[in-house]
Amino acid sequence: MNILVTGTAGFIGFFVASKLLSLGHVVIGLDNVNDYYDVNLKESRLKILHQNKNFIEARLDLVNRVGLEELFRKYKPVRVLNLAAQAGVRYSFENPYAYVDSNLVGFVNLEEQCRHNQIEHFVFASTASVYGANNKMPWDECDGCNHQLSLYAATKKANEVIAHSYSHLFNIPTTGLRFFNVYGPWGRPDMALFIFVRNIFEGKAIDVYNNGQMVRDFTYVEDIAEGVCKVLLGKVPMVNQLWNSDSQYPDPSTSGVAPFRIYNIGNSRPVELMRYIKIMEDEIGKKAIINFMPIQPGEVIKSEADNLDLYKEFDFKPKVNVEEGVHNFVKWYREYYKY
Ligand SMILES: NC(=O)c1ccc[n+]([C@@H]2O[C@H](COP(=O)([O-])OP(=O)(O)OC[C@H]3O[C@@H](n4cnc5c(N)ncnc54)[C@H](O)[C@@H]3O)[C@@H](O)[C@H]2O)c1
């Protein structure tokens, strides 16, 4: 089927689009190829996608309403996956409007097109960061989360509530996926694995926040791509007849008034940051020079996904452990950057 995937020049979008193409679907890949990080890396990903004749590139900004309307008219996508967004926590301190434009205005533009084009299933990327100040672990979709710690997380939480209202008003089957620290080859240069590996190779110091006392549920990108495709192509969410609107805490992950669902998509095996760094050092064969720093504003100390719902509904089982995942990243990094 014709599937619109936004963010295909990006890290996760590249893997998901590759998987959809390998399954024989036509992928309309929307991306504005912005310069938030190295544009050459984005172009290299796109070059690989272009090797498949079923990949159609649409170089477009989600903010461009008219362009988006034409795109839907021309290609008539059946299902839509939104991965395009302004990511990152620190960048928002200096560039808040990048988040407002892409994650809020762009998101509503896409919802409007889903509304007017009878889309079978709209799936969008949310983030583990929406759990913000929640300390109960593992993070469960049934828990409320209303205390985001960054503008990035706040815009993603806004996506979830906007999506619920569109799903309710216009009967759009909608699924939000909360990604947990995605890593792997072709990864993002603003994320810890990339920065740490590059600096270890170059003999430069790495900044390690909260004195290394952090725990993350690192999730390998191919596991993510597998899970996203299962959800996007599989059975669409329905109104939950058992949803209890009289409860003091109505379940936020499903809805009695909309075909709407939220899932965590993580590895469910959290790893201490210092162990993650040790695996990189072993893989590269060199010690990191570490600058221990206090915690950064907007950061959480621990993340851990409860994946039970995604396992029950879609048989999602992440396969790649952190040793194998970091090995694959370092191998890619050596080949791509000729180290
Ligand atoms: N990587 C992670 O660990 C992680 C964790 C949680 C959530 N997410 C979410 O998953 C999605 C994909 O993340 P990623 O790591 O691949 O990020 P990425 O930055 O590599 O990819 C996003 C892509 O979207 C494009 N884009 C941004 N704004 C756009 C706009 N207005 N119009 C068109 N294209 C635009 C960018 O050019 C980029 O290629 C994002 O929504 C992100 O917030 C990622």
Give the domains, in start order, of the chain with CATH numbers. Answer: 2-179+221-268+304-318 (3.40.50.720)
Question: What strands, in cross-sheet order, belong to the sheet with 79-82?
Answer: 55-59, 26-31, 2-6, 79-82, 121-127, 174-179, 260-265
Q: What is the mean pLDDT of the chain?
A: 97
Contact between 138 and 131 (Cβ < 8 Å): no
For residue 51, what pLDDT is reported?
98
Structure confidence at residue 339 (pLDDT): 85
- The span from the CA of 129 to the CA of 151, in Å, is 10
Token pair 């950061």: residue: 299
Separation between Cα atoms, residue 31 and residue 62, nearest integer Å: 8
Residue 322 has pLDDT above 90, yes or no: yes
Stretch 182-187: mean pLDDT, rounded?
98
Q: Pick the closest to residue 80 from 119, 25, 125, 115 (CA basis).
A: 119
Average pLDDT over residues 258-285: 97
Cβ–ligand 1 distance for 125 under 6 Å, the answer yes
pLDDT band at 299 (very low <50, low <70, confident <90, very high): confident
pLDDT digits (tens, 9 = 90+) for 187-206: 999 999 999 999 999 999 99
Q: H or E segment at 332?
A: helix 322-336
pLDDT greater than 90 at residue 89: no
Residue 244 CA to residue 234 CA, distance in Å, equals 26
User: Would you give the end-to-end CA distance of the chain in angstroms?
Assistant: 40
pLDDT value at 37 more than 90: yes
Is 177 near ligand 1, meaning CB less than 6 Å away? Answer: no
Tell the residue nearest (CA) to atom 42 of ligand 1.
87
pLDDT value at position 258? Answer: 98
Using pLDDT thresholds of 50, 70 and 90, give the confidence band for residue 12: very high
Closest CA relative to residue 306, chosen from 253, 251, 258, 266: 266
Q: Which of 37, 91, 131, 152 is catalytic?
A: 152
ω before 138 within 30° of 0 (cis)?
Answer: yes
Asked if the model's pLDDT at residue 337 lies above 90, the reply is yes
List, in sequence order, every residue forming a beta bridge with 271; answer none if it has no partner. Answer: 216
Average pLDDT over residues 55-71: 98
Is 152 a catalytic site residue?
Answer: yes
pLDDT higher than 90, residue 254: yes
pLDDT surpasses 90 at 185: yes
Is the CB of 176 within 6 Å of ligand 1? no
Asked whether 49 lines ligand 1 (CB < 6 A), one says: no
Tally of CB atoms within 10 A around 191: 16
Distances (CA, A) of 223 to 17, 131, 316, 331, 337: 14, 22, 9, 18, 24
Q: Which residue has the tokens 């906007």?
A: 162
